[in-house]
Structure formats: structure tokens, C-alpha cells
């Protein structure tokens, strides 16, 4: 029997400069899609996949994240007094079991690979997941769960993958495909942020990974890569060089790049439209906007 994936790393040390000035005082992972912070979507997805230990790689100024997952006794007492059981129920989802969360600091911004490496002692000798909270994926079956199920058959290392337009490939880690099996692809190489025209395919890595402890060892070996950073992609590619399996998994779901303003806004609209309590009013508003725009043309 393959060892179950029960640990997940959430790299949340980034400065979020694309969202300044908001991120001057709040971590970008606390920014909300409708009424839930980005990080809550990531945690819910991890829980659905059977994750029991949540490891946050943080940095200075991320205290609000720790508070978010803590019980707020004053708030809860006040809601209880006023009989607001529905709101208490919503809060329940944000409380984590004692000891389920660990916070590790990345002292220097040396890249995603380095952030993951900072958690190596907590991972020890087990397979683990990595979730990048910027990549929010709306899916009937949460994507990490889809991957854990696929991993039961494949083992090895696995990255979520999605086709992107060729001219956008330079923004991603890109897979060099050895064998295309449909949802799964066997990978023979990976390039982080390839130069325009040099991408080996248009199959891009999206921020969900299932990795082995071996990848953590590779991180200490790989050199500084794209953007002068220690890249997780390079450490995974090293697995292939050493003859171990790496798979890409074409997930079922819609991915939003919440690390960019346009992606964040698209996610906001999509998640609002998915909500029974907001949909009708929101559609009316959008229709009104479109009508005004048409009239002005």
C-alpha cells in the first residue's frame, strides 16, 4: 500500500506586491473572494483530499494568517449571546484542530523551491502536497483530491497541469511531455519560465503538487534558476534526471490566477455568480452595466 498523503505545505511568504497598497498591511492570502479569504479555499481543498497537517511557510507581516485560523473567543461569545448560530457555523470552518497547523518562517525570499525546503523537517520521510493559494480552482471534485486519487495508482511526483496559450507559457513552469495518456502525462523534462519560443509544450504547471521527500533533497542540490530564485520546478525535474517518475495531471476544474488583478476579479465574479444568495442581484447589475456600455457606444 502506498503511503497516504496527509501533510501539505502552503507557501505564503510572498510580499504580494502586485496588490499594493492593500498588501502593505494584510497578507495577500487574506484577501477575499466574496467573503472567504484565498487561504480558506486552499485549506478546504486540502481537507477534502485527506490532509491532516497544514504547514505554512510564512514571513514577516503574516500574523493575520495565524489569527485567522485561531479561535476568536470574544467574537464567538458575542455571536452566541445574540443567537447568531448561522454565523457561528461559518466560523467553525476556520478553526483548526489543535496542533494541526505549523508555521515556519522563510527568512529570505529565495524562491518557491527554497520556501518548500524550509519545511523539510516537518515533512520528514513522507510524501506531501504543496498548494499555492494564488491558484484558486473551482471544481466539482476538489483538485488535490483528484490528484491524490490518481497518485494512488502512479506514485512518483505529480504536478497539476493545464494547457495555456503558447504566448503565455513564459509565465509558468512548462512540461516536456514523454507520453500523453489523457488526464495523466508522463514528463521527461520541466522548464521554469521558458524564454518566448522555447517552451517545450503549452502544458503549464498549476499550483498543486504531490511530491516525495527526495524532491526536498534535490532542492538543496539545484542551483539558482529562473529569476535568480531556487525553483521547485528544477528540483522536480531533477527527479527525472535521476530516473524517477514525474507526472502531469490535467485536472477537471476552472483555474483562476488570483496572483494577478485580472484573475482575482474574474474569480470574484465567478464565485459571486455561483452563490445562491448573490446571483440574481449580481446578474441584474452586470446586465445593467453592459446595457449602459452598449448605449454609450
> Which residues lie near ligand G1P (CB under 6 A)?
112, 132, 135, 172-173, 192, 204-207, 232-233, 259
Which residues have CB under 8 Å from 38's CB, separation 6+? 28, 29, 30, 31, 32, 133, 134, 136, 258
Closest listed residue to residue 147, CA positions, set 297, 5, 280, 254: 5
Q: What SS3 class is residue 223? A: coil
d(Cα 265, Cα 261) in Å, to the nearest integer?
6
Which residue in this structure is represented by grid cell 521554469?
192
- Rounded to a whole number of angstroms, the minimum distance from the CB of residue 139 to ligand G1P is 16
Residue facing ligand G1P at closest CB distance: 173
Quote the least distance from Cβ 262 to ligand G1P, whole Å. 14
Pick between residue 132 and residue 222 the one whose CB is nearest to ligand G1P. 132
Closest CB to ligand G1P among residues 173, 253: 173
Q: Counting beta carbons within 10 angstroms of the beta carbon of residue 261, is it exposed (0 to 12), middle (13 to 18) or buried (19 or more)?
A: exposed
Which residue number, 46 or 79, has a Cβ lying nearer to ligand G1P? 46
112 or 216: CB nearest ligand G1P: 112
C-beta of 28 vs 79, nearer to ligand G1P = 28
Q: Whole-number minimum distance, CB 49 to ligand G1P, in Å?
A: 18
Q: How do beta strands 173-180 and 184-192 pair?
A: antiparallel
Q: How far is the CB of 106 from ligand G1P (least distance, A)?
A: 13
d(CA 35, CA 53): 25
The answer to whether 210 and 129 have CB atoms below 8 angstroms apart is yes
Q: Which is nearer to ligand G1P, 148 or 258 (CB)?
A: 258
* Three cell numbers, residue 185: 502525462
- Rounded to a whole number of angstroms, the minimum distance from the CB of residue 194 to ligand G1P is 10
The minimum distance between CB 282 and ligand G1P, in angstroms, equals 27
Residue with cell 478553526: 95
Amino acid at each position: 500500500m502506498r503511503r497516504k498523503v496527509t501533510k501539505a505545505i502552503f507557501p505564503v511568504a510572498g510580499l504580494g506586491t502586485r496588490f499594493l497598497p492593500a498588501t502593505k498591511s494584510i497578507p495577500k492570502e487574506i484577501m477575499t473572494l466574496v467573503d472567504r479569504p484565498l487561504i480558506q479555499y486552499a485549506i478546504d481543498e486540502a481537507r477534502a483530499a485527506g490532509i491532516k497537517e497544514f504547514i505554512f511557510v510564512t514571513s514577516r507581516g503574516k500574523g493575520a494568517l495565524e489569527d485567522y485560523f485561531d479561535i476568536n473567543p470574544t467574537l464567538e461569545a458575542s455571536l452566541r449571546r445574540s443567537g447568531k448560530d448561522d454565523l457561528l457555523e461559518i466560523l467553525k470552518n476556520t478553526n483548526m484542530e489543535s496542533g494541526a497547523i505549523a508555521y515556519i518562517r522563510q527568512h529570505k525570499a529565495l524562491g518557491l523551491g527554497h520556501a518548500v525546503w524550509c519545511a523539510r523537517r516537518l515533512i520528514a520521510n513522507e510524501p506531501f502536497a504543496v498548494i499555492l493559494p494564488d491558484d484558486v480552482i473551482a471544481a466539482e471534485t476538489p483538485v488535490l483530491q483528484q490528484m491524490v486519487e490518481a497518485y494512488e495508482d502512479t506514485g512518483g511526483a505529480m504536478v497539476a497541469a493545464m494547457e495555456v496559450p503558447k504566448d503565455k507559457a513564459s509565465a509558468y513552469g512548462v512540461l516536456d511531455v514523454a507520453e500523453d495518456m489523457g488526464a495523466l502525462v508522463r514528463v521527461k523534462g520541466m522548464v521554469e519560465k521558458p524564454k518566448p519560443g522555447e517552451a517545450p509544450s503549452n502544458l503549464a504547471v498549476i499550483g498543486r503538487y504531490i511530491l516525495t521527500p527526495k524532491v526536498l533533497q534535490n532542492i538543496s542540490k539545484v542551483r539558482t534558476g529562473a529569476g535568480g530564485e531556487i525553483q521547485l520546478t528544477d528540483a522536480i525535474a531533477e527527479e527525472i534526471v535521476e530516473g524517477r517518475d514525474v507526472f502531469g495531471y490535467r485536472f477537471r476544474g476552472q483555474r483562476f490566477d488570483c496572483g494577478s488583478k485580472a484573475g482575482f476579479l474574474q474569480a470574484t465574479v465567478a464565485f459571486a455568480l455561483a452563490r445562491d444568495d448573490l446571483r440574481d442581484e449580481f446578474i441584474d447589475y452586470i446586465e445593467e452595466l453592459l446595457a449602459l456600455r452598449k448605449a454609450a457606444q
